[in-house]
Homo-oligomer: A and B are copies of this chain.
């Protein structure tokens, strides 16, 4: 009977039922889902149908499967989605340039948000960042700096998008860096942000990105 249910796709229904089941049973990230066989019985469909739904969710990074162990609700850390989208959707994008530009859109927006909000400027993370730079506590300060800025805006969606984009736009972004000159620029950026000077902060950011870009080209 449920078959004749309009034109809705079966495996989409199953995904929906899985979502309900997950929220009902309060399954959290990392927890195990019922086995495919149990799900098939519970939902009154074949194991094949359950598997098609699960594979789709796996591709999206929503779940994780381990042979012999089970299916687990994922912490959305898997990047199959990214990989697949990279070869399909990104093909449509003009070029890698779009990715870089879009990433920068989110970064500029975050800087602006912080700079223009007095409360956010007071966060202890900035003090920590400054001393981190000074004492070279982490060699990943480049990515740390940007990430903390976006995190501070408390826009988790923007953070998520940024995180995805970052994986394309230059691997060098994640590479440890030890450049005094760059550290100086980031210091300046931080200072301008703390001073609430949006315009100058954005100029610093542009300067910084130009330097990073130049560096990237040299290594090619």
Q: Give the number of times this chain occurs in the complex, counting copies.
A: 2
Bound Cα distance A62, B99 (Å): 20
Interface stretch of the complex, out of A81-89, A136-144, A175-183, A185-193: A81-89
Q: Is the CB of B62 within 8 A of A93?
A: no
Bound Cα distance A81, B12 (Å): 11
Task: Enumerate chain A interface residues (CB-CB to B < 8 A).
Answer: 9, 11-12, 15-16, 19, 48, 51-53, 55-60, 62, 76, 80-81, 83-85, 87-90, 92-94, 98-99, 101-102, 105-106, 108-109, 154-158, 160-161
Q: Is the CB of B161 within 8 A of A102?
A: yes
Bound Cα distance A59, B16 (Å): 12
Give A121 Cβ to nearest chain B Cβ, in Å. 18
Bound Cα distance A81, B80 (Å): 14
Give A90 Cβ to nearest chain B Cβ, in Å. 8
Bound Cα distance A155, B105 (Å): 11
Q: Is the CB of B89 within 8 A of A55?
A: no
Give A82 Cβ to nearest chain B Cβ, in Å. 11
Given contacts A80-B12, A84-B15, contact A109 B105 (CB under 8 A): yes
